[in-house]
Structure 1
Amino acid sequence: MEQQLMELGQKVAALEAGSKMSDTINMEIFYWWCTALMITIHAGFLAYEMGASRAKNVLAAGTKNLLAFAFVVPTFFFFGWWIYNAFPSGLTIAEGSEVALPWSSAMGPNLSDNATGVFWAAFALFAATTASIMSGAVIERIRLTAFLILAIVLGSVVWILAAAWGWHPAGWLTTEFGFHDVGAAGCVHLVAGAFTLGVLINLGPRIGKYDPDGTPNAIKAHSVPLTVVGLMLIIVGFFGFLGGCIIYNAGAQWTNIFGQPATLSAFAFNTVMAFAGGIIGGWVKTRDPFWMMSCGLVGIISAASGLDVWYPPLAFVIAVVAGFVAPMIANALERAGIDDAVGAVAVHGAGGAMGVLAVGLFAAGYPNVGDMPPVSLTGQLVGLIVMGALGFIPGYAMSAVMKATGYLRVPRDVEIMGLDLVEVPIEAYPEGMTRPATPVMSPVTTGTPAAVPAE
């Protein structure tokens, strides 16, 4: 009898161990596929930026996008991940952060650690996405190496410091102010949009964008269908991005990044409803397929901070409003002399700000974990200001130094000829879409917006 009981106990222990291992593997698989889906965001950015460029710049735009990903990932390994773990309380180094240093045993194959690699990979894709937000806005005139330096700072330093402060269970914005930003509308989109605005101010508009009196001209994308398809791929990838914003707890309820109970069902309801709402808002305002898709993304961003708590029709309404407002913000920036080629500041910066603010307006009082303060409008405004400043100040300062040294922008003759001719050893369209012998600018003498030729 004792022998049978012993054998039964061993079988129960083996089953429990197998169940725990199964839970661990399921967690790894979940974040593995979230990361894989996030690669789709970069396929979308690639298509969207290449389509938004004129034909003479299409491969240079694609090369810039590919290299941003390639440089941000290793720099995030060497110091970005450590920044997230080191600075949640401000600018003092947190105890235990050495586990995230690149030579730590956790930062490589380790049979006793099934979590660090997949979490790091998901965060590395968040970092690359943040850097790529800037990429489309600056096409056709930024120097490649200057862009890569800015992308590394944005993707592996600035945004992850914002995440440590406001997208971390011990981040001071959460522990002191109850800041709530579940889907990273603030630390990714607002930060990236503000950083991009700072760069654009110093970079200046593309040649031909404005008349001498300041009237803006349309510089037409060489392939609007490619931009629209690229934006849809970004939407697909955002299901991986937002999935990576929820914490898989083996044998227990999901939680958000702050430790509050959450479900993927809530994320599903609100992501899909917000996407639809953003498209409708953009359609009502513009009737433009490019802006309809861009506003679909704005809709998701505007609902992202509260994905875990919104009643789906409220997420839809928030997104409709954001989708209606975003093109207006883009037009205002254009009239102010800011040449944002793809509307990134309006889509991500303003969309992120609206997402953070919406939580303060409609979810104030939502309880926090332990004795941390609940969600409040004050806390959301503090987070909005901190993240806006954290993005704008380094973006503006670094690009101002580059501008002063003549390093930020390509030479005028290179911009007129097209960056592909100088930077890329192959042609994008060798048959039927060749460059003219002499680049031509569209002479505009009236106040009517006119296109600059694709070539």
Structure 2
Amino acid sequence: MDQQIIDLGQKVAALEAASTMANTINMEIFYWWCTALMITIHAGFLAYEMGASRAKNVLASAIKNLLAFAFVCPTFFFFGWWIYNAFPGGLTIADGASAALPWSMSMGPNLSDNATGVFWAAFALFAATTASILSGAVIERIRLTAFLVLAVILGSVIWILAAAWGWHPSGWLTTKFGFHDAAAAGCVHLIAGAFTLGVLLNLGPRLGKYNADGTPNALKAHSVPLTVVGLMLIIVGFFGFLGGCIIYNPGGQWTNIFGQPATLSSFAFNTLMGFAGGIIGGWVKTRDPFWMMSCGLVGIISVASGLDVWYPPLAFLIGTFTGIVVPMIANFIEKKGIDDAVGAVAVHGCGGAIGVLVVGVFAAGYPNVNGAPPVTFFGQLVGFVVMSLLGFVPGYAISAVMKAMGTLRVPRDVEIMGLDLVEVPIEAYPENIGRPAAETLVPTGDFGSATAVPAE
């Protein structure tokens, strides 16, 4: 009898160990596939930016995207992940941050640690996504090396510092002000949009974008269908992105990044409702398929901060409102002489700002955990201001230095010929519209007198 009890106890212990390991492996698998889906975002950015470029710049835009991804991953390994773990309290280094240093036992194969690698991978993809938001806005005139430096600073330093402050269970914006940003509308999209605005102010518009009187010209995308397909791929990838924003707790309820209870069901309801609302808003305002898809994206961004708490019809209304407003903001930015080739500042910056601020309006009073204050409009406003400045100031300052050094923008003759001719050893469309010989005139603008430019 005693032996039977002992055997039964051993079996129970073995079952408990197997269950624990199964839960751990399920957690690992979940973030593995979130990361895989997030790579679809970059396939989308690749297609979207190539389509938005003119024929003479298609492959240069592609190379810029590929290299941004390639440079952000190692830099995020060497210092980005450490920044997130080191600075949740501000600019003083937190206890335990050494575990995120690149030579730590956690940062490599370790049979006792099934979590660090998959969490690092998910965050690295968030970093690459943030850097890619800048990419589309600056197509057709930025130097590749300047873009890569800016992409690394944005993806592996600035966004992750914002995440440490406002997307971390110990982040000071949350512990002091109750800041709530469940799916990173602020620390990814607002940061990237503000950084991009700072860069665009120094980069200047593409040749031919503005007439002498300041009125804008349409520099048409060479393939609108490719941009629309690319945007839809970004939406597919966003299901991985948003899945990576929720914490899988083996044996327990899901939580958001702050430790508040959450469900994938709430994410599913509100993602689709915000997406649908955004598309309808874009359709009502523009009838333009490019803007319909861009507004679908901004619909998701606008509900992201409260994705865990919204009543789905409210998410639909927020997405619809934002889908109507954002094309108007993009038009305003264009008329102010800022050439954002794909509307990234409006879509990501303004969409992220709306996402952060509406939580303070419609979710005020939502309780926090671990003694942090509840959600308030003031707390959301503080987060908005901090993230706007954290994005804009470095973007403007660093690009201003590059501009003064003459390293920010390609030479005028290179821009006229097309970046593919200089940077790429092959042609995008060798049989038809690759590098035509016909010429059109560029109207006089900020960059000189009327000049002959190869036709698109």
Q: State whether residues 211 and 443 of structure 2, in contact with CA within 8 Å, keep that contact through their aligned partners in structure 1.
A: no
Q: State whether residues 248 and 255 of structure 2, in contact with CA within 8 Å, keep that contact through their aligned partners in structure 1.
A: yes
**CA drift at 1:105:** 0.3
Determine the structure 1 residue equivalent to 2:16: 16
Determine the structure 1 residue equivalent to 2:407: 407
Q: State whether residues 142 and 409 of structure 2, in contact with CA within 8 Å, keep that contact through their aligned partners in structure 1.
A: yes
Distance 2:4 2:252 in 1: 32
Distance 2:379 2:74 in 1: 34
Determine the structure 2 residue equivalent to 1:449: none
1:382 aligns with 2:382: yes
| SS of structure 2 residue aligned to 1:441 | strand
Q: State whether residues 175 and 373 of structure 1, in contact with CA within 8 Å, keep that contact through their aligned partners in structure 2.
A: yes
Q: Which amino acid aligns with 2:336?
A: A
Distance 2:46 2:375 in 1: 37
**CA drift at 1:371:** 1.3
**CA drift at 1:444:** 9.0
Determine the structure 1 residue equivalent to 2:448: none
Superposed counterparts of 1:219-234, under 5 Å: 219-234=219-234
1:272 aligns with 2:272: yes
Superposed counterparts of 1:222-371, under 5 Å: 222-371=222-371
Distance 1:149 1:426 in 2: 25
Superposed counterparts of 1:94-105, under 5 Å: 94-105=94-105
Distance 2:282 2:218 in 1: 19
Distance 1:101 1:159 in 2: 18
- Deviations along 1:26-76, one digit per CA (max 9) or x if unpaired, are 000000000000000000000000000000000000000000000000000
Determine the structure 1 residue equivalent to 2:56: 56
Distance 2:440 2:159 in 1: 40
Distance 2:4 2:97 in 1: 48
1:422 aligns with 2:422: yes
Distance 2:116 2:355 in 1: 29
Superposed counterparts of 1:30-69, under 5 Å: 30-69=30-69
TM-score for both structures, normalised by structure 2: 0.97
Determine the structure 1 residue equivalent to 2:126: 126
**CA drift at 1:8:** 0.5
Q: State whether residues 210 and 443 of structure 2, in contact with CA within 8 Å, keep that contact through their aligned partners in structure 1.
A: no
**CA drift at 1:437:** 2.5
**CA drift at 1:238:** 0.2
**CA drift at 1:443:** 5.3
- Deviations along 1:89-145, one digit per CA (max 9) or x if unpaired, are 000000100000000000000000000000000000000000000000000000000
Distance 1:167 1:435 in 2: 46
Distance 1:19 1:36 in 2: 26
| SS of structure 2 residue aligned to 1:440 | strand
Distance 1:441 1:246 in 2: 52
Percent sequence identity over matched residues?
Answer: 82
**CA drift at 1:432:** 1.6
Q: Which amino acid aligns with 2:427?
A: E
TM-score for both structures, normalised by structure 1: 0.98
Q: State whether residues 222 and 454 of structure 1, in contact with CA within 8 Å, keep that contact through their aligned partners in structure 2.
A: no
**CA drift at 1:300:** 0.1
Q: Which amino acid aligns with 1:98?
A: S
Distance 1:247 1:352 in 2: 22
Distance 1:144 1:75 in 2: 17
**CA drift at 1:254:** 0.2
Determine the structure 2 residue equivalent to 1:156: 156
How many residue pairs get matched? Answer: 449
Superposed counterparts of 1:152-191, under 5 Å: 152-191=152-191
Q: Which amino acid aligns with 1:346?
A: A
**CA drift at 1:287:** 0.3
Structure 2: runs of 5+ lacking an equivalent? 446-452
**CA drift at 1:197:** 0.1
Distance 1:125 1:53 in 2: 24
| SS of structure 2 residue aligned to 1:437 | coil
| SS of structure 2 residue aligned to 1:416 | helix
**CA drift at 1:436:** 2.3
**CA drift at 1:441:** 2.9
- Deviations along 1:197-255, one digit per CA (max 9) or x if unpaired, are 00000000000000000000000000000000000000000000000000000000000
Determine the structure 1 residue equivalent to 2:449: none
Distance 1:274 1:288 in 2: 19
